[in-house]
């Protein structure tokens, strides 16, 4: 099969509880539900559209970095340290829409508990899995579980893998708030888990992986995207159900091209007659600028 395609640019466009208001000068101004945050953003290399004074007038809280990996939140207006937002997951094939609920929080690592651009993938996952009879779905580097919730809402048997216990507990909390249950939680190194699944002979109709540029497993296993992604993808493809499948690879790394996931996935696509698409995820700011937030490759059959 000869996969010829245009590169896709995808952005969530129907999320009432989230809005990127502006970004620039290495920062972003975002609304999560009722609260507005200012956070660092390394991709926002252009000038802000709105002034710093306008930003601070709107914002409830601003993240002040202490180092490259952590910092403190400065509250500009009264707001709680934890709050909730919702996302209505839906797909083109399914008339049924379901609310996913996320508990957000001000962490020391500038994150609040959700990557909003990933909502595009939640809809794709929900749409693909909904018509299937009890499909198996695997979420690797799964964070607080947006993709896991979307898959469970679609009726899948879901396995959620992350190396950090506190993050898995957070995902479990989101599951309960979303009135879902029975997600299988695994605190494990993603690559080690996949290799165990190969030995067990397990297969999945749906797999998503969103690996970081750098990271560590629960026992100190080192992860570096450029060094480990080839072995990771080759292993993941061994547990992908060949007859009916969806695989999404996200890569948020400065300088990573969408041609990287294309080159990693194309041999499998050609061999198995899967449809391959590649592209970028981005957020469309109210101010008119577009914030790039990683590249993706997607196999579907």
Q: What is the pLDDT of residue 214?
A: 67
| Entry pTM | 0.94
Pairing status of strand 157-162 against strand 82-89: unpaired
Q: Per-residue pLDDT tens for 251-281? A: 986 678 899 999 999 999 999 999 999 999 9
Ranges under pLDDT 50 in the chain: none
**Which CATH code for domain 81-300?**
3.40.50.150
Q: What is the pLDDT of residue 94?
A: 59
CB-neighbour burial class of residue 81 (10 A; exposed 0-12, middle 13-18, buried 19+): exposed
Q: Which residues are within 8 A (CB) of 201 and not within 5 positions of it... i.e. 6 or more apart?
A: none
Q: Which residue has the tokens 């700011």?
A: 285
Q: Per-residue pLDDT tens for 205-239? A: 999 999 877 677 777 777 777 788 999 999 999 99
Q: What is the pLDDT of residue 215?
A: 72
Q: What is the pLDDT of residue 212?
A: 78
Pairing status of strand 35-40 against strand 61-65: parallel
All structural domains of the chain with their residue ranges: 81-300
Q: What is the pLDDT of residue 72?
A: 96
Q: What is the pLDDT of residue 118?
A: 97
Q: What is the pLDDT of residue 92?
A: 60
Identify whether the C-beta of residue 101 lies closer than 8 Å to the C-beta of residue 83. no
Q: What is the pLDDT of residue 213?
A: 75
Please give the Cα distance from 151 to 204 (Å, whole number): 12
Q: What is the pLDDT of residue 95?
A: 67
Q: What is the pLDDT of residue 90?
A: 81
Please give the Cα distance from 124 to 150 (Å, whole number): 9
Task: For residue 56, give the nearest of 70, 37, 69, 40 by alpha carbon.
Answer: 37
């Amino acid at each position: 099969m000869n996969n010829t395609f245009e590169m896709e640019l995808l952005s969530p466009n129907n999320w009432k509880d989230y809005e990127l208001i502006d970004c620039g000068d290495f920062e972003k101004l975002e609304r999560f539900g009722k609260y507005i945050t200012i956070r660092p953003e390394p991709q926002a290399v252009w000038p802000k559209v709105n002034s710093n004074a306008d930003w601070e007038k709107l914002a409830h809280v601003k993240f002040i970095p202490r180092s490259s990996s952590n910092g403190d939140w400065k509250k500009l207006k009264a707001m709680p340290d934890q709050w909730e937002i919702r996302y209505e997951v839906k797909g083109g094939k399914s008339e049924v829409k379901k609310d996913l609920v996320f508990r957000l929080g001000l962490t020391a690592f500038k994150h609040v508990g959700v990557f909003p651009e990933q909502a595009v993938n939640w809809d794709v996952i929900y749409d693909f899995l909904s018509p299937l009879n009890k499909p198996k779905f695997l979420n690797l580097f799964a964070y607080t579980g947006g993709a896991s919730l979307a898959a469970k809402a679609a009726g899948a048997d879901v396995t959620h893998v992350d190396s950090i216990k506190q993050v898995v507990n957070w995902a479990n909390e989101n599951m309960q708030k979303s009135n879902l249950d029975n997600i299988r939680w695994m605190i494990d190194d993603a690559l080690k888990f996949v290799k165990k699944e190969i030995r067990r002979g397990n297969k999945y109709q749906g797999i998503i992986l969103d690996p970081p540029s750098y990271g560590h497993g629960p026992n100190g296993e080192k992860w570096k995207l450029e060094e480990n992604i080839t072995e990771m993808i080759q292993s993941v493809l061994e547990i992908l159900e060949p007859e009916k499948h969806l695989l999404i690879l996200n890569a948020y790394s400065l300088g990573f091209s969408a041609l990287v996931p294309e080159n990693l996935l194309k041999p499998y696509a050609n061999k198995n007659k899967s449809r391959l698409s590649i592209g970028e995820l981005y957020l469309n700011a109210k101010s008119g600028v577009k914030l790039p937030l990683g590249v993706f490759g997607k196999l579907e059959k």
